[in-house]
A and B are shown apart, each in its own frame.
Chain A
Amino acid sequence: MSATSLPEIAHELEDKPPVLVGRPDDRSLDRRVLGALWSPSIARWWWPLFLFSAGGTGLLLFLMLYTVVTGIGVWGNNIPVAWGFGITDFVFWIGIGHAGTFISAILYLCAQRWRTTINRIAETMTLFAVVNAGIFPLIHLGRPWFAYWLVPYPATTGVWPNFRSALPWDAAAVSTYLTVSVLFWYSGLIPDLAAMRDFQTSRLKARIYGLFSLGWRGSAEQWAQHKTVYLILAGLATPLVLSVHTVVSFDFSITQLPGWHSALFPPYFVAGAIYSGFAMVIMLLIPIRKLYKLEDVITEAHLEASAKLMLATGWIVLYAYALDPFIAWWSGEPTELYLQTFARPLGPFAVLYWTQIFCNCVVPQVYWIKRARRSHVVLFIGSALILFGMWLERFVLIYTSLARDWLPSSWHDFTPTWVDGGLIFGTACFFVFNYLLFLRFVPFVPLSELKEMRHELEKEDLEKAGEELPYEKEARGVVPAR
């Protein structure tokens, strides 16, 4: 269609990729999205990846056991660097989760259409990332079987947890985040599980999906309740996701270590979390749309929007990095000033620091260029670098502050052990392992929401063309307006 009116010309000039290529009907969407799950053609890549990630998961379980049985000394941690890789990995994984909730809840409230197709892919990423994150605080306790001490239960000693400490805050924030994410994810999934039930030809599969769909039938009454509850859950998840990384940042900012004691931390952590999460979303979307041949459903629009958000949050992170030395100077505190203006950029941690700056501040600038946003190779490599850079950011933050505190006589460096490395590798494999199982058994594109969006798009298409729906034309006159 050639542009004739001003808004149309403007639209064409913007050169925006569509959120859905073509207008596939319900049946073809069912076949493509639901049929993909049990399709034999995916076995070729699914099994090798699955076996590899299962091996890595085995390694993770072994290393957890080894750590618990032998003691925390198998890690490179020491005093003063008591947090090392463990808490770095915790902050890294929980941060990844934030983009999932950002897409599924915040963009839902903002009525952003492009979130529809990818919200489940992103939200599932949240669930598995939070599960991974939960592992580290638990095993870094050293005696994980006492983790229940964080819960106020009537102990014979009569002592209660100290609720003014960041540890119970963390426990409350992370467990709430996981629970609410599961509820939100599952309530969105129920109608699609019902579709999956009715799509099956095998009786056994139909029964299993039927069980998980809780008997959803899709009546107008059910939909009315569903819409309301889903909207409110999104409204609850929105402040929740902001609170989680805020509480995580309190682990650092309520202490008095140089480089940690900063009021900037909550927004800086939240932005960094969404930033790294979008890098992960892109790294998931590119292979999924390719392997499942869903390029017309998960379109360039989704990748481009994710890249733009990565650029935006990348700038917030850059701003926080720039503010760090300024606040150190403003505080007039010599140790703070030494850490922020010498030790990190010029001293013993310079290599780590500048790698972090390169990955997190320089790399995303390439996404100012449209061609870079649309090149899958550039998107994928850039996202991988950003993900690595964000892990490094947490490591630099945790390690350098602990290693260079107020008392030079207590300064000490940190060397990770193979167990430290194995644990982060193991959690990455565990993430892939879980994700592959999800792709195999659960409708990963929210089908009912996609159909609803398609219906809205069709209506808009016709409105734009100034036409009526084919059916309405025929029915006019036969059905007088109410």
Chain B
Amino acid sequence: MSYRLAEFERVEQLVAAAKTLRKHGYSRFTAYTPFAIPELNEILAIPKSRAPLWFFCAGFAGGTTAMVVQWWCNAYDFPLNVGGRPLFSIPACIPITFELTVLFSALTGFFYLIVAGGMPRLFHPIDRIPGIERATKDRHVLAIDLSDPKFLPDECAQLLAEHQPARVVDGEAVR
């Protein structure tokens, strides 16, 4: 796969360039930036994260597990009579139930982030194209897939030039 990388000094340039490309019907391009730029989500039509659902389901599973384990251990499998107190009472089970809800939820959410973000990854094909390494530091990089049906090398160069990129380079992303 080949990409055209356009490096910009400023966020506003990148956002404007992305808008221009989108307006001209480009669909296969993305941005690599040193920090989050929320405006891009709409321009690049990034689907909403499914993280909240995973967090919720895992939390629910954690809480249920904790409640069931506490009831099963102390009230059912081996009824533990401590000074005649009830074998199962919800208030006494709340601390562990709460902690396990948070634990399951946070662990799942974290691993969701790793998997949904395409990690862990030792090498990404795009790393082959020089200049991409600045995207984590001081450049905002737009990467246009050259197989985009709307891609025409000269027109694209013109569209990008309107936004004064610091550098434009074509490269092949290979394994």
Residue ranges of A at the interface with B (Cβ–Cβ < 8 Å): 25-27, 30, 152, 158-164, 168-169, 172-173, 176, 179-180, 183-184, 186-187, 190-191, 194-195, 197-199, 210-211, 214-229, 232-233, 236-237, 239-240, 243, 247, 250, 447-449, 451-452, 455, 469, 471-472, 474-475, 478-479, 482
Q: Does B37 contact A (CB under 8 A)?
A: yes
Interface residues on B, range: 35 or more
**Chain B 73-84 near chain A by CB (<8 Å), digits 1 or 0:** 110011010100
In the bound assembly, the distance between CA atoms of A168 and B66 in angstroms comes to 12
Does A30 contact B138, Cβ atoms closer than 8 Å? Answer: yes
Q: List the 7 closest pairs (A to B, CB-CB), nearest first.
A: A215-B121, A160-B73, A26-B138, A228-B49, A452-B35, A214-B120, A214-B119
The answer, among A164, A197, A198, for a CB contact under 8 Å with B74, is A164
Q: Does B27 contact A (CB under 8 A)?
A: no
Known: A172-B96, A210-B122, A225-B117. A218 touches B16 (CB 8 A): no
In the bound assembly, the distance between CA atoms of A233 and B119 in angstroms comes to 18
Q: Does B63 contact A (CB under 8 A)?
A: no
Does A221 contact B96, Cβ atoms closer than 8 Å? Answer: no
Give the A-B pair count, Cβ closer than 8 A: 209
CB distance from B57 to the nearest CB of A (A): 13
Q: Does B2 contact A (CB under 8 A)?
A: no
Specify the main secondary structure of chain B where it touches its partner.
Answer: helix
| Subset of 26 A-B contacts with CB under 8 Å | A160-B73, A162-B82, A169-B95, A172-B99, A176-B100, A179-B106, A191-B136, A215-B124, A216-B117, A216-B119, A217-B127, A218-B33, A221-B30, A221-B46, A222-B118, A223-B35, A223-B37, A223-B40, A225-B117, A227-B49, A232-B55, A233-B110, A237-B106, A247-B95, A478-B162, A479-B20
Residue among B23, B89, B127, B133 with most chain A CB within 10 A: B133
Does B37 contact A220, Cβ atoms closer than 8 Å? Answer: yes
Does B117 contact A226, Cβ atoms closer than 8 Å? Answer: yes
Residues on the B chain within 8 Å of A214, using CB: 114, 119-121
Does A160 contact B34, Cβ atoms closer than 8 Å? Answer: no
Known: A220-B30, A232-B51. A239 touches B41 (CB 8 A): no
Find the B residue at minimum CB distance from A247: B95
Specify the main secondary structure of chain A where it touches its partner.
Answer: helix
Find the A residue at minimum CB distance from B11: A455
Taking A158-B77, A217-B136, A469-B10 as known contacts, 10 extra A-B pairs with beta carbons closer than 8 A to each other, sorted by chain A number, are A30-B138, A164-B89, A172-B96, A179-B103, A183-B110, A210-B122, A217-B32, A219-B30, A229-B112, A482-B19
